[in-house]
Amino acid sequence: MEMKERIQQKARELFMRYGFRSVTMDEIAGQLGISKKTLYQFFEDKDALVESVMQGEMTYMESECNRQNNEAENAIDEMFKDMDSMESVMDSLNPQIIFDLEKFYPKTFDKFKQHKNTFLLDIIKKNLRRGIQEELYRNEIDVDIVAKFRLESSFIMFSQDLFPYGKYSLLKVSSEIYHHYLHGISTAKGKKFIEKYILQRQKNKSLAV
């Protein structure tokens, strides 16, 4: 693995666990066993490193969303695959990261916000249209309004005012929001698929223990 990639990977690991603000360049260099001078050969400053990490996250997010869309047997299955993907990173995710990004790295936050309001919004709309076509989602829903609701609600779990860190589990909040959303837009046929995938997930988790 190239040094630049190693730096970015370690920085991502630390940022996601402890937040962007609290992790210093000294700590990243120390974790890698390199000098800070070496670190600065690849990244001009911490802002540049944060931007690189977030660009990597957005690229990964796009590939995951496209994979889920291609592999899912239907719109609801796509949503459950998204849940699985989110759960895989929840344990090591610090909810402070969005606040840190907005307050201390506004340029990178603006890029993330643009990505959120274009690519992610489009993915949600495609899922809604797919579900309506498959008769799993109610055909009377307003795709534009519901997509925007879904997008904003998916980030509400990071609100420290509503769900302070330590009092609420990110995994629990995220799961409640997913299920509330799905039940709200699904037809009777869709609800049967929801129950089917819930049972499948429970079975898979019990086998994994």
Query: At 97, which CATH number?
Result: 1.10.357.10
**Helices and strands, counts by H and E, the chain:** 11, 0
The string of pLDDT tens digits covering residues 66-125 is 999 999 999 999 999 999 888 877 777 888 899 999 999 999 999 999 999 999 999 999
Which of 99, 95, 88, 84 shows the shortest CA–CA distance to 169? 95
**13: closest CA among 122, 97, 104?**
97
Q: How far is CA 118 from CA 58, 121, 125, 155, in A?
A: 12, 5, 11, 15
Look up the domain containing 181 and give its range. Answer: 3-208
Determine the Cα–Cα distance for residues 200 and 16; give it in Å rounded to an integer: 29
Taking 60 as the threshold, does the pLDDT of residue 190 lie above it? Answer: yes
Q: What is the pLDDT of residues 8-30, one digit of tens each?
A: 999 999 999 999 999 999 999 99
> What does the pLDDT average to over 124-132?
98
Please give the share of the chain, as a percent, with pLDDT higher than 90. Answer: 81
How many domains does the chain divide into? 1
pTM over 0.95: no
